[in-house]
């Protein structure tokens, strides 16, 4: 991590870990919040009942006021029956008393829903721009990963709604965690084959958070949080694939927090990597580079056997960010480091790394090298039956051939368009737009007709995306 923001970020992180005033530890045993009689109180956000329980446990009214940032008169009013409805105050109470937010439905609510064939994307709150939300997202991930703010830009959290309740098991075991991971794996396979699945995975991820309120041994709590982190990271990627960016940001941030709670630096880095990919593809390579480098920083703490593979992915996408920022030498250095640190053992893994490398080489103007990597990626990624993934290098390869004026370009473009038409991936469809532009620049009616088809397929799912105020 010798380029860009890495040195500055490392210094900030080191300073954050070494110094700074710490908030006093609340005089409350966290086990209290997992008790069978307390969980329903938290789920109902019955603050009066919560305060009464705390008083029964020996926490004074003055201590409650100090911890929650309220006056003693406000605490008295709540104890007398005043309802707490303000989201900001609920969050302040949860943080002050060290109540896990998910137990009060404050972190992973369904802000934005998916229905039918349409994707509803929540618009930003009044007075909040997309740039402000992006900076909030980047700063929030950094704070979630390292336990304190590292970057400027945090906003007040938007309101969320609690999830619906259905019966839960009386106690969790490692078998339940294994089932959760298996279910995530099945959904991931489905998404890789067909794309989409954002509505399903978003709902599953939100509802699965209720498992944290079920009693479980300490040996189950950490793997449970790690498994939930994996699920939320996947939900974030599916929502990104569906252009539901704000919902994706919520899931990525939740994944990082859960992974940090589980003391799983690999999962933290994995979520930050995919969050960075989304940020870069939206046209913000500088912010993406920050996330990639912070992910690398966390990965250095990991002893997970998958760490070299993730390090390679973080480096190759850092190369992409550097290319977009206009630093070709740094981009090539990151590509070389990525391939040096890890040799993908499986064709599917190799295909993915080759595709990103082809994009970077294309952006650097080395079209012949980009074509070789894209062709190899099509062979390797296509061998795993993952249609959504295999479609991406196929589009890139067709675009390169069309740009070069090669005869095979039109046939390859038609195949790529037909493949993407069968997918539910908005992301894959949007990548047909540069191909359409290349086809329009090619002489002949065949190129124009294929360009029309490409734009039609690219817009057929995008037109279902609606912005909600």
Q: Is the pLDDT of residue 314 over 90?
A: yes
Residue in 355, 335, 336, 353 with CA at minimum distance from that of residue 344: 353
Residue, of 132 and 396, whose pLDDT is higher: 396
pLDDT of residue 168: 77
pLDDT of residue 102: 72
pLDDT of residue 263: 94
Q: How many residues does the chain have?
A: 469
> Which pLDDT band, with edges at 50, 70 and 90, does 155 fall under?
low
pLDDT of residue 161: 41
Does one domain contain both 38 and 134? no
- Do the bridges between strand 118-122 and strand 114-115 make them parallel or antiparallel, or are there none, so unpaired? antiparallel
> Which pLDDT band, with edges at 50, 70 and 90, does 382 fall under?
low
Indicate the SS3 state at residue 150.
coil
Q: Is the pLDDT of residue 418 over 90?
A: yes
Average of pLDDT values for 41-45? 81
Does one domain contain both 258 and 178? yes
Q: Is the pLDDT of residue 468 over 70?
A: no
> Which pLDDT band, with edges at 50, 70 and 90, does 118 fall under?
very low
Would residue 72 count as lying in a domain? Answer: yes
Indicate the SS3 state at residue 362.
helix
Residue indicated by tokens 């919560």: 50
Contact at 8 Å (CB) between 351 and 377?
Answer: yes
Does one domain contain both 267 and 245? yes
Average of pLDDT values for 138-156? 74
> Which pLDDT band, with edges at 50, 70 and 90, does 22 fall under?
very low
Residue, of 132 and 105, whose pLDDT is higher: 132
CATH number for the domain that contains residue 223: 1.25.40
pLDDT of residue 56: 87
- Alpha-carbon span 105 to 374, nearest angstrom: 44
> Which pLDDT band, with edges at 50, 70 and 90, does 14 fall under?
low
Does one domain contain both 99 and 197? no
Would residue 249 count as lying in a domain? Answer: yes
At 346-381, the pLDDT tens digits run 777 788 899 999 999 999 999 999 999 999 998 887
- What percent of the chain is predicted at pLDDT more than 70? 82
Would residue 78 count as lying in a domain? Answer: yes
Does one domain contain both 235 and 290? yes
Would residue 390 count as lying in a domain? Answer: no
Provide the token pair at 34.
């997992």
pLDDT of residue 299: 93
Selection from 67-71, 120-124, 375-379 with the highest mean pLDDT: 375-379
> Which pLDDT band, with edges at 50, 70 and 90, does 243 fall under?
confident
Residue, of 51 and 150, whose pLDDT is higher: 51
Would residue 316 count as lying in a domain? Answer: no
pLDDT of residue 116: 35
Would residue 288 count as lying in a domain? Answer: yes
pLDDT of residue 417: 94
CATH number for the domain that contains residue 26: 1.10.260
Average of pLDDT values for 296-301? 94
Does one domain contain both 86 and 47? yes
- Alpha-carbon span 384 to 189, nearest angstrom: 11
Selection from 94-98, 113-117, 229-233, 306-310 with the highest mean pLDDT: 229-233
Does one domain contain both 145 and 274? yes
Does one domain contain both 128 and 245? yes
Average of pLDDT values for 114-128? 47
At 182-198, the pLDDT tens digits run 999 999 988 988 888 89
Q: Is the pLDDT of residue 163 over 50?
A: no
pLDDT of residue 119: 37
Q: Which domain holds residue 260?
A: 114-155+172-304
Would residue 86 count as lying in a domain? Answer: yes
Does one domain contain both 125 and 258? yes
Average of pLDDT values for 123-133? 68
Q: Which range has the worst mean pLDDT, 69-73, 174-178, 412-416? A: 69-73
- Alpha-carbon span 289 to 11, nearest angstrom: 16
Does one domain contain both 219 and 83? no
Q: Which range has the worst mean pLDDT, 162-171, 183-192, 314-323? A: 162-171
Helix (H) or strand (E) holding 466: strand 465-468
Would residue 342 count as lying in a domain? Answer: no
The model's pTM is 0.69
Indicate the SS3 state at residue 151.
coil
Q: Is the pLDDT of residue 285 over 50?
A: yes
**How would you list the strands of the sheet with 114-115, edge to edge?**
114-115, 118-122, 465-468
- Alpha-carbon span 411 to 430, nearest angstrom: 20
Does one domain contain both 72 and 144? no
Does one domain contain both 145 and 89? no
Contact at 8 Å (CB) between 192 and 184?
Answer: no
Number of domain units in the chain: 2
- Alpha-carbon span 331 to 327, nearest angstrom: 6
- Alpha-carbon span 81 to 103, nearest angstrom: 21
- Alpha-carbon span 273 to 290, nearest angstrom: 10
DSSP string for 108-121: S---S-EETTEEEE
Contact at 8 Å (CB) between 106 and 160?
Answer: yes
């Amino acid at each position: 991590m010798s380029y860009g923001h890495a040195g500055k970020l490392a210094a900030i992180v080191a300073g954050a870990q070494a110094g700074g005033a710490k908030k006093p530890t609340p005089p409350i045993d966290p086990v209290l919040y997992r008790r069978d009689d307390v969980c329903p109180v938290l789920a109902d956000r019955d603050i009066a009942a919560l305060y009464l329980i705390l008083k029964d446990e020996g926490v004074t009214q003055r201590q409650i006021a100090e911890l929650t940032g309220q006056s003693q008169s406000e605490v008295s009013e709540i104890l007398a029956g005043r309802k707490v409805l303000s989201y900001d105050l609920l969050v302040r109470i949860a943080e002050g008393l060290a109540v896990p937010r998910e137990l009060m439905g404050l972190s992973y609510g369904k802000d934005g829903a998916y229905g039918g064939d349409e994707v509803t994307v929540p618009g930003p709150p009044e007075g909040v721009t997309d740039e402000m939300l992006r900076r909030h997202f980047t700063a929030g991930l950094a704070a979630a990963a390292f336990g304190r703010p590292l970057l400027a830009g945090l906003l007040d959290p938007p309101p969320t709604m609690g999830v619906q309740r259905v019966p839960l098991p009386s106690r969790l075991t490692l078998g339940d965690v294994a089932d959760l991971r298996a279910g995530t794996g099945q959904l991931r396979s489905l998404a890789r084959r067909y794309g989409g699945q954002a509505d399903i995975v978003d709902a599953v991820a939100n509802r699965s958070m209720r498992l944290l309120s079920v009693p479980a041994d300490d040996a189950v709590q950490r793997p449970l949080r790690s498994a939930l982190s994996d699920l939320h990271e996947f939900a974030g990627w599916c929502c990104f694939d569906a252009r539901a960016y704000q919902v994706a940001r919520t899931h990525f941030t939740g994944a990082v927090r859960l992974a940090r709670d589980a003391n799983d630096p690999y999962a933290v880095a994995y979520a930050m990597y995919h969050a960075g990919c989304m940020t870069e593809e939206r046209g913000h390579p500088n912010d993406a580079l920050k996330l990639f480098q912070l992910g690398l920083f966390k990965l250095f703490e990991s002893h997970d056997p998958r760490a070299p593979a993730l390090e390679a992915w973080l480096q190759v996408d850092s190369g992409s960010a550097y290319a977009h920022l206009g630093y070709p030498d740094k981009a090539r250095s990151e590509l070389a480091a990525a391939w040096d640190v890890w040799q993908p053992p499986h064709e599917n893994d190799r295909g993915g790394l080759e595709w990103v490398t082809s994009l970077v080489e294309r952006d650097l103007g080395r079209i012949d090298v980009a074509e070789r990597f894209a062709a190899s990626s099509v062979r390797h990624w296509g061998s795993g039956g993952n249609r959504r993934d295999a479609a991406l290098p196929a589009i890139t390869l067709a675009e390169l051939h069309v740009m070069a004026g090669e005869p095979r370009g039109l046939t390859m473009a038609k195949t790529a368009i037909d493949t993407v038409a069968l997918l539910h991936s908005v992301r894959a469809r949007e990548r047909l737009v540069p191909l359409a532009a290349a086809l329009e620049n090619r002489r002949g009616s065949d190129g124009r007709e294929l360009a029309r088809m490409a734009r039609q397929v690219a817009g057929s799912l995008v037109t279902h995306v609606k912005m909600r105020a």
